[in-house]
Structure 1
Amino acid sequence: MWVLKFQLRQYGAHCVMKARTPRRTPLLSPKNKKSRLQYAKSHVDKPQMFWDSVLWTDETKLELFGPMDQRYVWRRKNKAYEEKNTLPTVKHGGGSIMLWGCFASAGTGKLQRVQGTMNSLQYQEILDDNVMQSVTNLRLGRRWTFQQDNDPKHTSKSTGAWLQIKGWNILEWPSQSPDLNLIENLWWDLKKAVAVRKPKNVTELEAFAHDEWAKIPVDRCKTLVSSYASRLKAVITVKGCCTKY
């Protein structure tokens, strides 16, 4: 018996598994996994020139007092609730804005605030105001490709007909795949940078967002795009399941 206890203690001392909070990932159905795997396999051998000409797009929400706004105070053990050691909270983040943005290997493109609740018509207007200007500014050339996710506003009949008239080359997209959309990394960068500046109101929140978006280094964009094949290989390795990205 003592041998068994010794072995268990030895195992416990060397075991690398610990209780940890599970990562939050999109819920993937078998159909989602199959679609993701097919996308990865059909695009993994695309030349880098192709990815360099993709315009990545998406929307994101910025909160005035969001999860990025973490602050610390120096205090004594039993002084947690003294006013100087507290941070007043407000419901629903104290105000927020929705942004549409785009980028490519050559850098960040246009960034626009979404007014109210976006529908298909407003989405089309945003694309009309920003996409071609970004394509020109980023010098993507004539054979560029437009990327968007499968949000209902993006894939509605109205938007589909609008895009067909535009004649843009559309990158096919598997649903439930934020880990494959490179702009998600830039949204993370943007939110951290804006939070550091501690905007006091929604006006500052929007102004700081535009400032920080313009400051994102071209090298950051280029590195993200140049590593895209690694993401596709990761999806293939896990047979369409979620990846670390």
Structure 2
Amino acid sequence: MAEFQDEKLLLSKKNIKACLSFARKHLDDPQDFWENTLWTDETKTELFGRSVSHDVWRKSNTAFQKKNIIPTVKYGGGSVMVWGCFAASGPGRLAVINGTMNSAVYQKILKENVRPSVCDLKLKRTWVLQQGNDPKHTSKSTSEWLKKNKMKTLEWPSQSPDLNPIEMLWHDLKKVVPARKPSNVAELQQLCKDEWAKIPPQRCNRLIASYGKRLIAVVAAKGVPTSY
């Protein structure tokens, strides 16, 4: 959970109030509702696991020996932004974001990935799309696109990592991809797709099965960060 600590520390009083309001509002929603929600988000992965901390066991005065140095790449080494989705029945599609993610790019990703994922995951006709509160998600053009394409969205509070179970899958992805040691951005992109597709449906199901407990924890904490 440490990877998300910085994001949680940025929560304002307004964000905390919104998270608490959401949790209270949905406490009594039936489990079937959450099972037919398509959860989505974007995240960044970096070469050589630069966003992940490493521990090196070594003897005194050997810090700069070659075997004790973790390789890095000058000027950052490259990174990949991805959009992903999942439901209780398993992982959906994962798309690589090329260039700046604006409303037009976001709508293209939705067009190419949402309905195929809904079909593959066998969601019911009453399915709901969960998305973040970034301007590209809530812009006028995106709102009109969603309405035109008859995609019902879940009203979502800003800065609410505790409420989105996809955060746990990002955590999984950022552990397994660096372990496979991609050597360039192209490999990093492919490994992200490969490992996302390999997420066990049981892992997804457990995350959604416990969603009610997640809401209870948020209410108990009065909207401040929890262990989720």
The TM-score normalised by the length of structure 1 is 0.86
Match in the other structure for 1:31: 14
Q: Quote how far apart the aligned CAs of 1:159 are.
A: 0.7
Alignment of 1:196-207 (within 5 A): 196-207=179-190
Q: Which residue of 2 aligns with 1:165?
A: 148
Hey, what's the Cα distance between the residues in 1 that align with 2:54 and 2:186?
20
1:90-128 residue CA offsets vs partner (Å, 9 max, x unmatched)? 345310000001000000000110001111000000000
Equivalent residue number for residue 52 of structure 2: 68
Q: Establish whether residue 136 from structure 1 lines up as the match of residue 119 from structure 2.
A: yes
Equivalent position of 1:56 in the other structure: 39
Q: CA RMSD in A?
A: 1.6
Q: Residue 43 of structure 1 is aligned with which of 1, 4, 26?
A: 26
Secondary structure of the residue aligned to 2:45 is strand
Shift of 1:31: 2.2
Q: For residues 26 and 170 of structure 1, do their structure 2 counterparts lie closer, same or farther at Cα, with a shift above 3 Å needed?
A: farther
- Aligned match of 1:174: 157
| Runs of 4+ in structure 1 over 6 Å off | none
Query: In the alignment, which of 97, 100, 104 is matched to residue 121 of structure 1?
Result: 104
CA distance in 2, matches of 1:92, 1:46: 48
CA contact (8 A) 2:129 2:154 kept: yes
Deviation at 1:68, TM superposition (A): 2.8
- With over 3 angstroms needed to count, the CA separation of the structure-2 counterparts of 1:80 and 1:34, relative to structure 1, is closer
Contact map agreement 1:26 1:176 (CA 8 A) in 2: no
Listed one character per residue, the Cα deviations across residues 68-98 of structure 1 (whole Å, up to 9, x for unaligned) are 373646x542222123432343345310000
Deviates more, 1:217-226 or 1:82-91: 82-91
The correspondence for 2:176, drawn from 175, 193, 197, is 193
TM-score, normalization: structure 2? 0.92
SS of aligned partner of 2:20: helix
Which residue type is aligned with residue 198 of structure 1?
K
User: SS at the partner of 2:83?
Assistant: strand
User: CA deviation digits over 1:159-203, x for unaligned, max 9?
Assistant: 111111112111010111011111110011011111111111111
Asked if the contact 2:89–2:121 (Cα under 8 Å) also holds between the matched residues in 1, the reply is yes
Aligned mate of 1:151, from 113, 134, 143: 134
The number of residue pairs the alignment matches comes to 222
**Farther-moved stretch of structure 1 (26-35 vs 99-108):** 26-35
| Cα gap change, 1:212 to 1:71, in 2 (>3 Å) | farther
Pairing partner for 1:105 from 88, 91, 98? 88
Structure 2 gaps, min length 5: none
